[in-house]
Structure 1
């Protein structure tokens, strides 16, 4: 029986991040015929011919890989599986190929713990106003002003989470040591998951925002959730609170958030990793606000943890070699919901 052929199309930098020596060793131990393709190509016009010539059963790729041809043969006798080591597959895989049976996975839940880690970082940064003091001390020679300087602690606070998917669920154990009370608004998540993690179910967004000191935004983005976080909700966060967004920028009415941030510079903190339009405009009013901490959408996999994504790929490549179905393959419906 012939081995399944795997084509790995990565740049040198991608290879270093996604396939460090220990992970590469595991890959090379799989019963696969492996062929390497160094990216970037001199011309993307070469790409269809390369695929036709090499006829891989599986493809491992990341950000630099050219888009797959719309008329690519997939399934039995063609390309069966694409392990996309990054996030959204929209720029790589035409939807029609999924419909025709191409199995595709991305980094999936492998990034949940690093995003959760960043949520904790941003929460602590907001409560302690770390972003403000870092700039003030470096640029302005700033120093605290006795009792007039106010910072907050996370210990024994009330934390509300909007959205309770895998990232939020992995975040709970990171926050528990602070003795916080955690509640979440996510109508579609079963009660059993709330009970297992010791999280209270909140029955409305109004209650979530008004009854918690820290709000962490993690709701999925779709048409119904566009600007679901309104000015009224943001204004209802209690004094001394914080709003953290590591989910999707367009879930929040950004113009309204800017108004609230300007109106409450001393008693409400914001810490953001995502924005309605990215990259964040140079002249965005969010820049320069003393109560707003900003990160450039880096909550996802850190450089040293990108290899976590490859471990998912290795499990599925082993399944492919054994003639088993791929796990966590992206469906056309999931493709449509992706941003």
Structure 2
């Protein structure tokens, strides 16, 4: 976390979002002393602002979903007009579609919504594990054919979940896996456990990034929960996938570009691994020509595993809480490493 740089008596907030975003109603809960200068998606939407108003802006909020989302090019076009901006908050967790050189190299503090989406992604990951453990597609086929054919199912209890990226999302997956009495191992740069992690007793062992293949070989279910950065680009490739167990399942709730998708398709086609559950892809939307659509051992979702009815409202509620810290000169939560990309 980082300090907001001293207490602020007044905040002039620019909101980059479509004005019809329903979650903007949460901003009514902003503390006293916050003035919303304008709401819009592009420079054209802010044409009525005077130079004095532009210069007054010290905080920017980027939020919205789909057509209401503020885009990188729009924010970059606004940047030269904001000489006194000190803090920008993104209502999403990923940064790869947001960062640009002026933001990365400049002094503006960037925060994000890390943690808001973690539990829903963890639920998806465990659902995906059960999808394969209980062979749910078989149940649907038998129901459609009016077939009564009992078969053996697998428990998650006693199986090993290997989590690549043991940040907030990875830890949420670990907690749910532990509730299913799974064994949890993980991979991240910092291998020592914090006092809180030791007390929680969720993860048994943490591997460093250069031991990815060992984690893959030891896991029955591999959950990818990393952001996309230069260091994580296609970090799971053919060599890592070759280390997976024949009954292994690969689940990706992180970013699609962290995986060599062609190598994953080959592992799935050849039957080297049992299956995959994918909420994210190298290219989104997933092209109709992708072979992933036609694979029976793949569970696909269109990057919506965290898209609950509440997720944007909860994200802005986090911003409101962070604004109270900013006004009080306290440390901001979720300060991003702009150069690291997370």
Q: Taking structure 1 as the reference length, what is the TM-score of the superposition?
A: 0.80
Relative contact order (alpha carbons < 8 A, sep ≥ 6): 1 or 2 greater?
2
Q: Report the Cα distance in structure 2 between the residues aligned to 1:329 and 1:311, rounded to whole angstroms.
A: 16
User: 1:320 matched to which residue of 2?
Assistant: 326
Q: Mapping of 1:160-239 within 5 angstroms?
A: 160-192=162-194, 195-198=198-201, 199-201=203-205, 203=207, 204-239=211-246
Structure 1 residues 113 and 36: alpha-carbon distance in aligned structure 2, compared to 1, 3 A threshold: farther
User: 2:256 matched to which residue of 1?
Assistant: 249
Q: Report the Cα distance in structure 1 between the residues aligned to 2:291 and 2:199, rounded to whole angstroms.
A: 41
Q: Mapping of 1:290-301 within 5 angstroms?
A: 290-301=296-307
Q: Report the Cα distance in structure 1 between the residues aligned to 2:307 and 2:155, rounded to whole angstroms.
A: 27
State the aligned residue count.
320
* 1:179-213, Cα deviation, whole Å (9 max, x unpaired): 21111233423233663443222543333222222
Structure 1 residues 116 and 37: alpha-carbon distance in aligned structure 2, compared to 1, 3 A threshold: same
Q: Report the Cα distance in structure 2 between the residues aligned to 1:56 and 1:224, rounded to whole angstroms.
A: 34
Q: Is the 8 A contact 2:9 2:33 kept in 1?
A: no
Structure 1 residues 259 and 332: alpha-carbon distance in aligned structure 2, compared to 1, 3 A threshold: closer
Q: Taking structure 2 as the reference length, what is the TM-score of the superposition?
A: 0.79
Aligned with 1:71 (options 42, 57, 80): 80
SS in 1 for 2:110: strand
* 1:209-242, Cα deviation, whole Å (9 max, x unpaired): 2222211122443334433323343344334331
Q: Is the 8 A contact 2:15 2:40 kept in 1?
A: no
* 1:250-306, Cα deviation, whole Å (9 max, x unpaired): 2222112112211229x7121111112222111111112111100111233523122
Q: Report the Cα distance in structure 1 between the residues aligned to 2:36 and 2:194, rounded to whole angstroms.
A: 45
User: 1:269 matched to which residue of 2?
Assistant: 275
SS in 2 for 1:59: strand
Structure 1 residues 40 and 182: alpha-carbon distance in aligned structure 2, compared to 1, 3 A threshold: closer
Q: Is the 8 A contact 1:127 1:241 kept in 2?
A: no
Unmatched tracts of structure 1, length 5 or more: none
Q: Report the Cα distance in structure 1 between the residues aligned to 2:155 and 2:20, rounded to whole angstroms.
A: 40
Moved over 6 A (4+): none
